[in-house]
Structure 1
Amino acid sequence: MPNSNQHAALLVMDVQNAIASRFSGNGEVLLPFQKAVEAARSHHIPVIFVRLAFREGFPEVSPRNKTFSKIAEAGWGAMTPTDFGAQIHESVEPLPGEPIVTKLRVSAFTGSDLEVILRGRQIDTLILSGISTSGVVLSTLREAADRDFALTVLSDACLDNDPEVHRVLTEKIFPRQAEVLTVEAWAAALD
């Protein structure tokens, strides 16, 4: 394993059934995620899965939280940890021993034990992928940068409902704090 990968981890964020199902033909649009997971595993880079889930009845959700109160009101995708909607999508199914981190807000760090896992494994470099670019990826990138992690965003392993927002983030905003690469370019650089 190359030295540059010793302290890196791939985060696969919110690629769970309730969220992935919002993208038509999700099998094909999830191929970059599959390729990123395969590349990480083949180069001994830990893969950490992050999902959004709440307790039964959504006690963590404030009515003042515009995003999550709508989810709670609608019972969106039955988002408790055991519900189908909260499970990692089968196209990127975790292997035994690969952590699944449950978060309570947009950022992968908020309400989760992600940082404990990263610090325990001496990880200082994060490779980010997720659904959505303007949600979990943006929020996690900002928080991770503030926590002094080195960052790479896999532009084609990020999805957003708004292609223009995705473009602006990956071309103009993210490069200020992270290296932005396609999965293919990132995987090639690992060899």
Structure 2
Amino acid sequence: MGYRLDPIEPGRTALIVVDMQHDFLAPGAPLESPDGRAMVPRLNETLELCRRAGVFVVFTAHVHRADGSDMGRFADLYPPIAERAALIDGTPGAELYAEVDRRPDEPVIRKHRYSAFFGTDLEMILRGRGIDTVVATGVTTEDCVHATIRDAMFRDFRPAVLSDLCATYDHPDLGHGAMKAAEVHAATLVVLAQSTADVLTSEEFRARLSG
């Protein structure tokens, strides 16, 4: 079992950079992922590789309205969202992290749920460009990256996740035990590799693009 994405055709491939925002990456941010911040230089190298190769690059940003009308269960799950302290559209924290190298012509899909496909025009954009392969990076591995790449697979895109370009944060004990970020990350990748997508490193991705 498992899925292998080979070959990777750059002109039919999109790299989705999920939720690399200040509220996830900045030191002391409400939803901080230190591992996400640490991978930014490596992500930027892969972004440059994709541009040279002709891979379509698209970013996402998880945002909510200040009036709370689109928060749904997120207001129950995440106190910083309920308190309007994180991911509020139009605030600096909701913008892409300043050190992430986004070019002005690369779209930002503003979404309100974990999946970048839910309630957005992402699929129309990808289909309109002849994309059939989706490669996911970003934060967090188990939530928005996971949901986005599963939705991509449900829509019959050829899915992949770059294991060293995704990250998360420590999970507290909510009655089922705590998990460190590295454990959550690894467990999610195991599940994705078995059931959903090709899980490969950025170097493996580079080799398949050039090969």
Question: Could you say whether these structures have the same fold, taking a TM-score greater than 0.5 normalized by the shorter chain as the test?
Answer: yes
Cα distance in 2, alignment partners of residues 37 and 100 from structure 1 = 14
Match of 1:103 in 2: 111
Cα distance in 1, alignment partners of residues 34 and 8 from structure 2 = 39
Letter of the aligned partner of 2:158 in structure 1? A
Tell me if 1:154 matches 2:159: no
Contact 1:37 1:92 in 2 (8 A): no
Relative to structure 1, the CA distance from residue 63 to residue 99 in structure 2 (aligned partners, 3 Å threshold; closer, same or farther) is: closer
Cα distance in 2, alignment partners of residues 177 and 25 from structure 1 = 23
Tell me if 1:73 matches 2:73: no
Contact 1:20 1:131 in 2 (8 A): no
Cα distance in 1, alignment partners of residues 94 and 108 from structure 2 = 11
Contact 1:36 1:157 in 2 (8 A): no
> What is the aligned length?
188
Report matched runs for 1:21-60 at 5 Å.
21=26, 22-24=32-34, 27-60=37-70
- The equivalent position to 2:200 in structure 1, one of 156, 181, 187, is 181
SS at match of 1:164: helix
Relative to structure 1, the CA distance from residue 60 to residue 172 in structure 2 (aligned partners, 3 Å threshold; closer, same or farther) is: closer
Deviation at 1:35, TM superposition (A): 2.0
SS at match of 1:57: coil
Deviation at 1:149, TM superposition (A): 0.6
Cα distance in 1, alignment partners of residues 94 and 41 from structure 2 = 20
- The equivalent position to 1:141 in structure 2, one of 129, 146, 149, is 149
Tell me if 1:171 matches 2:190: yes
Tell me if 1:130 matches 2:138: yes
Cα distance in 2, alignment partners of residues 78 and 179 from structure 1 = 30
Contact 2:58 2:107 in 1 (8 A): yes
Cα distance in 1, alignment partners of residues 137 and 35 from structure 2 = 18
- The equivalent position to 2:121 in structure 1, one of 113, 117, 120, is 113
Contact 1:9 1:45 in 2 (8 A): yes
Letter of the aligned partner of 1:163 in structure 2? A
What are the superposed Cα offsets for residues 36-55 of structure 1, whole Å, 9 maximum, x if unpaired?
A: 21111111111100011122
Structure 2 residues without counterparts, runs of 5 or longer: 1-6, 27-31, 170-180
Structure 1 residues without counterparts, runs of 5 or longer: none
Q: What TM-score, normalized by structure 1, do the two folds share?
A: 0.89
Relative to structure 1, the CA distance from residue 78 to residue 102 in structure 2 (aligned partners, 3 Å threshold; closer, same or farther) is: closer
The alignment-based identity, stated in percent, is 31
SS at match of 2:159: strand
Relative to structure 1, the CA distance from residue 10 to residue 74 in structure 2 (aligned partners, 3 Å threshold; closer, same or farther) is: same
Match of 1:190 in 2: 209
SS at match of 2:34: coil
Deviation at 1:29, TM superposition (A): 2.8
